[in-house]
Amino acid sequence: MQELNDLVKARINALEEIKKLGINPYPHRFDVNTDSAAVLAVFKDPQTEEETELQKQNIISVAGRIAAIRKMGKASFIHIKDGTGKIQIYIRQNDVGEDLYKLFKLLDIGDIIGVNGYVFRTKMGEVSIHAVSFVLLTKTIQPLPVVKEEINEAGEKIVHDAFADVELRYRQRYIDLIVNENVKDTFIKRTKIIQSIRRTLEKYGFFEVETPTLQSIYGGANAKPFATHHNALNIPLYLRISNELYLKRLIVGGFNRVYEFVKDFRNEGIDRTHNPEFTQVEWYQAYGDYFDSMDLYEEVVEQACMDIHGTTKVNYQGVEIDFKRPWKRLKMTDAIKEKCGIDVLNMTKADILKYIGDNNIEFDPKLAHSKGLVIAALFEATCEDELVQPAFVMEHPLDTTPLCKPLREYSMQQLEEMKKDPEQVVFVERFEPYVNKWELGNSYTELNDPILQRTLLEQQVERGRGGEEETHPLDEDFINAIEVGMPPTTGVGLGVDRLVMLLTDSATIRDVLLFPLMRPL
C-alpha cells in the first residue's frame, strides 16, 4: 500500500511539473485520422528515396494510452494502445523539440497522448510511427497494473503479473478492459451476437418496440420482484421481471410481430448463471404456435453462432457443443422416463412423491399440493444435467404457467373432466430450450381464452396466499386486453447473457456483464 501511495505521489509531482511548463495536462480535444490497426494493415516499405520522402510527408495522427515506455537519452520508444490494438512510437528530441521532450520525460505508463508523425519500419523490423510532435491528452494519477508478456522456447505466450483478481476485475472493469485484451473481445462479441439476433428477427418482419421498466403490476414470469415507490403518484412500483404481458398487449393492438431486448430484474440469488439484472430478448408472433417458435429459436441461435465463429460448433469449458439445426425435441415426461425409468403419467402423486423420497431427490414440500408441479420438480432435479447438446423440452404441466394453451389434442370436454380429477395432469404447449444443462429460454403457444386466463391467474393468487413464493399476480388490464381479443400467438424469451457465455466460452455470467452487481466493500 505504501508503494502504491508513493507511485501516486510521484505522478502528482509530475503533474505539477507539467503545469509549471505551461502545459495543460487535460486539453479539450485532438484530431485523430487513423488508428493502429489501419496503420499496420496498409503500411508497405518504400522502395526508392522518392517514396521514402513521400512517406515522411504523409503525416498521420493517432491517439492512445501509453502501454510501454523506454526512455533513452534524447531518443525513446513507447507503445500506445488505442481501440484497435498497439503500435510503437519513436520520439526524438531533435524532431519534437527540447520543450516537448522535457514533457515526454514526465510521462508514465497509462497516460494518454496524441501523436503526429509518419510511418516507417525500425531496424528491428517493427512498423512504427516517427513522431514529429505529440500532445499530452490525459495525465493519469493511478498507476495501471504492468502486465508483462514473453514467448518461451516452445513458442507459447507467458503472462507475468496479470490483472487476475476476479473480484477486483469485476469492480474495476475499466482497468480490466485496459490490461486484459481478451475481456474487450468478449464484449465486442456480445454486441455482435445481439446484432445477429436483431437481423434474424427483422428478416422475418419483427418490429422492435419498448415497454415499461417500472410496472405497477409485475408479471410474465414466476419470480420475486424488486419493489420501489413513486413519490409524486404515491404508488408502489416494481422493476419488471418480464415484458411478456406488454408485448401481448401490442399483439392485441395490431402489431403482429414484435420483439424487445430488455433488462429484467429478479430479486433472487446470485450464482454463475444468475444475476439480479439480466438481458433477455422476447419476441411474439401472431397466428403462430410454439412449433413456429422452435424453428425460429433454432435459427436465431445457430445464426448467431455462425456470425461469431463461422461454424455451428463451439468449445465451452472443454465440451464441444453443436448448435446446428434441427435440435433434439423431447417431452418432459419422456425425459423423466429415460433418466429415472418411471412413467409418471401412470403413477399417482403419492407414488411420485414416494419415488422422490426413496431416492433422496431434493424437493420443495410447498409444491406437493400439485401433481403437475411435482412432475416438473422431478424433471428439474434429475434430467437437466443430461441436457448438454441443444434440446427443446416440451409439454410442461399446466401448473407451471398460467399463460399457455393446453395441448391441442385435448377436447374442451376432456379438459373439463380432467380439472375435476387431481390425479389428471393437463399439459401445455410450452417448451424450454436447454444447452449445457442450462435452461436458455422459454416459449408458449400463448393462451388467448380470456375466461380460462382469468381462472388460471386467480388460482395463482390463491397459491400465493397458500405460501408459494413465486406466483403471478392478477393484472386486470391484461385480462381486459385478452377480452378485447388476441389472435393465436406464440412467444419466446431467450436469455442473452447465457447465450453470450456459451458463444464466448465465459465461465460465469459476470464475465459477460460489463458491470455485474457486487456487494459494497
Between CA 200 and CA 492 the distance in angstroms is: 14
Looking at residue 158, what is its pLDDT? 62
Phi-psi region of 378 (alpha: psi -120 to 50; beta: other; left: phi over 0): alpha
Q: Residues 6 or more apart from 17 whose CB is under 8 A from it?
A: 106
Phi, psi of 263 (to 5 degrees): -90, 120
Between CA 412 and CA 405 the distance in angstroms is: 12
* Cβ atoms within 10 Å of 351's Cβ, excluding its own: 12
Q: Residues 6 or more apart from 220 whose CB is under 8 A from it?
A: 240, 241, 242, 243, 244, 245, 403, 472
Between CA 276 and CA 40 the distance in angstroms is: 43
Between CA 146 and CA 161 the distance in angstroms is: 7
Encode 73-106 in three state secondary structure: CCEEEEEEECCCCEEEEEEEHHHHCHHHHHHHCC
Give the amino acid at 94. Answer: N
**Nearest in space to 9 (alpha carbons), one of 108, 153, 146:** 108
Q: Dihedral through CA 495, CA 498, CA 502, CA 506, nearest 10? A: 150
CB 368 within 8 A of CB 356: no
**Nearest in space to 475 (alpha carbons), one of 399, 426, 402, 419:** 402
Q: Residues 6 or more apart from 490 whose CB is under 8 A from it?
A: 284, 285, 288, 289, 290, 292, 293, 443, 444, 445, 446
Give the amino acid at 135. Answer: V
According to DSSP, residue 171 is labeled H
Q: What is the DSSP string of 370-401?
A: -HHHHHHHHHHHHTGGG--S-EEEEEEEGGG-
Where are the domains positioned within the chain?
Answer: 2-144, 183-327+389-512
Place of cell 474495476: 172
Q: What is the pLDDT of residues 422-464, one digit of tens each?
A: 999 999 999 999 999 999 999 999 999 999 999 888 888 776 6
Between CA 140 and CA 16 the distance in angstroms is: 12
**Nearest in space to 284 (alpha carbons), one of 492, 125, 76, 457:** 492
| Cell triple for 395 | 409439454
- Longest distance between any two alpha carbons in the chain, whole Å: 95
Between CA 303 and CA 307 the distance in angstroms is: 6
**Nearest in space to 56 (alpha carbons), one of 117, 134, 97, 107:** 117
CATH 2.40.50.140 fits 2-144, yes or no: yes
| Cell triple for 342 | 418411471
Q: Residues 6 or more apart from 23 whose CB is under 8 A from it?
A: 103, 136
CB 108 within 8 A of CB 66: yes
Three-state SS for 350?
Answer: helix
CB 254 within 8 A of CB 501: no
| Residue ranges in the chain modelled with pLDDT below 50 | none
Four-residue CA torsion sign, 58, 64, 67, 72:
positive
What distances in angstroms separate CA 58 from CA 100, 116, 228, one per listed residue?
21, 10, 59
CB 294 within 8 A of CB 431: yes
The class (CATH top level) of 183-327+389-512 is alpha beta
Looking at residue 465, what is its pLDDT? 55
Burial label for 270, CB within 10 Å (0-12, 13-18, 19+), is middle
**Nearest in space to 381 (alpha carbons), one of 352, 406, 409:** 352
